[in-house]
Structure 1
Amino acid sequence: MTSRGTRLRQRRSGWPALASFALAALLAGCAAAPEAPAGAHQARDFAALDRFVRREMEAAGVPGLAIAVLRDGRIVHQGAYGVKHAANREPVTPDTLFEAASLSKPVFAAFVVLQAEQGLLDLDRPLYRYLPHPDLAGDPRHRRLTARMVLAHASGLPNWRQDTGGELKFLFEPGTRFGYSGEAYEYLKDVLKHLLGVDDAGLQARLEADVFGPIGAPSMRYTWDASIPARKAYGHRGGTPTDNHRHDDGFGASYTLHATASDYARFLAMLARPGRDRAPAVARLLAIQRDLPHEEGELHRSLGFPVKATARGLRYYHAGNNGDFRAYCHLYPGRGDGVVLFGNADNLFSSGLAQRILERLEEPWFYM
Structure 2
Amino acid sequence: MTVLIGYQAGMIDISGRRALSALPAFAALSALAVAACAPAAAPGRLASAEVPASAEAEDADFVTASGKPLSVRQIDAFVERQMRDLDMPGLTVAVFDDGEIVYEDARGLANTATGRPVEDGSVFEAASMSKTVFAYMVMRLADRGIIDLDRPLHEYLPMEELAHDPRYREITARMALSHRTGFPNWRWFDPAPESWGIQRGTMYMKADPGTYTYSGEGYAYLSEVVAKLTDTDMTTLDGVFQREVAEPLGMTQSSFIRTDYVAEHKVTGHFGREPSDEVWPRSYPDDTPLTFGAAGRLHTNAPEFARFLIALMEGEGLSPEAHRDMFAKHTQVPLDSENHRITGETGWGLGIAIEPTPYGTRYEHGGNNGEFQSGYIIFPQRRMGFVFMTNSDRGQEFNAAIEQFLTTGAEALPSSAVASQPDR
Mapped pair 1:330 → 2:364 = no
* CA distance in 1 between partners of 2:150 and 2:101 (Å): 35
Mapped pair 1:266 → 2:307 = yes
In structure 1, the partner of 2:150 is 124
* CA distance in 2 between partners of 1:51 and 1:334 (Å): 27
Amino acid at match of 1:309: P
**In structure 1, the residue corresponding to 2:92 is in which secondary structure?**
strand
Contact 1:237 1:324 in 2 (8 A): yes
In structure 2, the partner of 1:8 is 26
* CA distance in 1 between partners of 2:73 and 2:332 (Å): 42
* CA distance in 2 between partners of 1:50 and 1:92 (Å): 16
Identity over aligned residues, as a percent?
35
**In structure 1, the residue corresponding to 2:246 is in which secondary structure?**
helix
Cα deviation digits, residues 66-87 of structure 1 (max 9, x gap): 1111111111110122111112
* CA distance in 2 between partners of 1:310 and 1:81 (Å): 31
* CA distance in 2 between partners of 1:86 and 1:287 (Å): 42
Match of 1:234 among 259, 262, 268: 268
Mapped pair 1:187 → 2:221 = yes
1:301-312 aligned at under 5 Å gives the runs 301-312=348-359
Cα deviation digits, residues 2-24 of structure 1 (max 9, x gap): xxx8843853357589xxxxxxx
* CA distance in 2 between partners of 1:152 and 1:9 (Å): 27
Mapped pair 1:170 → 2:205 = yes
Cα deviation digits, residues 320-346 of structure 1 (max 9, x gap): 011110010111112110110101011
* CA distance in 1 between partners of 2:131 and 2:27 (Å): 14
| CA RMSD after TM alignment | 2.4
Q: 1:6 and 1:353, CA in 2 relative to 1: closer, same or farther beyond 3 A?
A: closer
Q: 1:275 and 1:158, CA in 2 relative to 1: closer, same or farther beyond 3 A?
A: closer
Q: 1:317 and 1:333, CA in 2 relative to 1: closer, same or farther beyond 3 A?
A: same
* CA distance in 2 between partners of 1:214 and 1:14 (Å): 33
Cα deviation digits, residues 122-174 of structure 1 (max 9, x gap): 11111101000110112110211111111111111101111222110001110
In structure 2, the partner of 1:23 is none
Superposed displacement of residue 40, structure 1:
7.9
Q: 1:8 and 1:318, CA in 2 relative to 1: closer, same or farther beyond 3 A?
A: farther
Contact 2:181 2:218 in 1 (8 A): yes
* CA distance in 2 between partners of 1:252 and 1:114 (Å): 18
* CA distance in 2 between partners of 1:267 and 1:9 (Å): 31
Q: 1:293 and 1:42, CA in 2 relative to 1: closer, same or farther beyond 3 A?
A: closer
Contact 1:16 1:319 in 2 (8 A): no
Q: 1:261 and 1:124, CA in 2 relative to 1: closer, same or farther beyond 3 A?
A: same
**In structure 1, the residue corresponding to 2:73 is in which secondary structure?**
helix
Amino acid at match of 2:333: H
In structure 1, the partner of 2:104 is 78
Would you say how many aligned residue pairs link Structure 1 and Structure 2?
Answer: 336
Match of 2:71 among 45, 48, 54: 45
Contact 2:375 2:387 in 1 (8 A): yes
Amino acid at match of 1:12: S
Q: 1:210 and 1:315, CA in 2 relative to 1: closer, same or farther beyond 3 A?
A: same
Higher relative contact order (CA 8 A, sep 6+): 2
Superposed displacement of residue 259, structure 1:
0.6
Runs of 4+ in 1 over 6 A off after TM superposition: none
1:345-360 aligned at under 5 Å gives the runs 345-349=392-396, 352-360=397-405
* CA distance in 2 between partners of 1:348 and 1:277 (Å): 31
**In structure 2, the residue corresponding to 1:228 is in which secondary structure?**
helix
* CA distance in 1 between partners of 2:317 and 2:391 (Å): 37
Q: 1:159 and 1:9, CA in 2 relative to 1: closer, same or farther beyond 3 A?
A: farther
Cα deviation digits, residues 264-296 of structure 1 (max 9, x gap): 11111011112596433222211111xx44254
Amino acid at match of 1:232: K
Deviates more, 1:237-246 or 1:311-320: 237-246
Match of 1:294 among 316, 333, 355: 333
In structure 2, the partner of 1:218 is 252
Amino acid at match of 2:212: F
* CA distance in 2 between partners of 1:75 and 1:191 (Å): 35
* CA distance in 1 between partners of 2:317 and 2:89 (Å): 42
**In structure 2, the residue corresponding to 1:318 is in which secondary structure?**
strand
* CA distance in 1 between partners of 2:325 and 2:263 (Å): 36
Contact 1:98 1:343 in 2 (8 A): yes
* CA distance in 2 between partners of 1:276 and 1:245 (Å): 33
Contact 2:90 2:110 in 1 (8 A): yes
* CA distance in 2 between partners of 1:109 and 1:139 (Å): 26
Cα deviation digits, residues 232-265 of structure 1 (max 9, x gap): 1110012211122334320011011001101111
Deviates more, 1:112-121 or 1:95-104: 112-121
* CA distance in 2 between partners of 1:308 and 1:83 (Å): 33
Q: Which runs of 5+ in 1 are unaligned?
A: 18-38
**In structure 1, the residue corresponding to 2:174 is in which secondary structure?**
helix
* CA distance in 2 between partners of 1:9 and 1:168 (Å): 19
* CA distance in 2 between partners of 1:82 and 1:242 (Å): 16
Query: TM-score, structure 2 length as denominator?
Result: 0.74
